[in-house]
Amino acid sequence: MNKNTGEVIWKFETGSHVGSSPAISGNYVYVGSADGYVYAFTTTTPPQQPTSEIPVWIIAMMVTTTMITIALFILLIYLMFFKENAFAEKVEKRKIGVFEILKSHRLLFVLCVIGIFIILLLFVEIAIVIKAISFVTYLIMLAYYLLRFLK
């Protein structure tokens, strides 16, 4: 899109929807699509084919100079390193981590407690005010445990 006039310069259709914002580094734009591909193209030329195949949906991308961080639905984080001509040549792609919280037995306990709490909220007839208070309490409890386990 022309930044001055808003006129569309070119379009590109991916194999599925794009759920995350595009990431920009220098003259390159990176777009992750639910088709499992990362598309890289210059600001003036549309991509001809996917740049990199990643077999899961991308939920977030961040680019800094020559490194792209991609967060995926399965809670993996990939780093992709590109040379100066990022459109042409991929240097390295490596998985850098899985959130350890998913391996924790404590998380399973917390999820069970939260699940029971939600079931009670859904099936027990109580006053709307009590439901609202319970829901706020649930949100506070959830935030507390997430912050505690993500440290």
Kindly report the CATH number assigned to the domain that includes residue 70. Answer: 2.40.10.480
User: pLDDT at position 122, please?
Assistant: 67
- Statement to judge: residues 29 and 89 lie in one domain: yes
Tokens of 141: 């409890």
* Any domain includes 38: yes
* Any domain includes 8: no
pTM of the model: 0.41
* Any domain includes 113: yes
Domain final residue pick, 98, 114, 139: 98
For residues 148 and 106, give the distance between their C-alpha atoms in angstroms, rounded to a whole number. 11
Of 101, 34, 102, 21, the C-alpha closest to 68 is 21
pLDDT in tens, 8-57: 777 778 777 776 667 766 677 777 776 666 677 777 666 666 555 554 44
The DSSP secondary-structure symbol of 73 reads: T
Average pLDDT over residues 82-94: 42
Instruction: Strand 58-64: give its sheet, edge to edge.
Output: 58-64, 67-72, 76-82, 90-98
Which of 13-17, 92-96, 99-103, 107-111 holds the top average pLDDT?
Answer: 13-17
* Any domain includes 6: no
Average pLDDT, the chain: 60
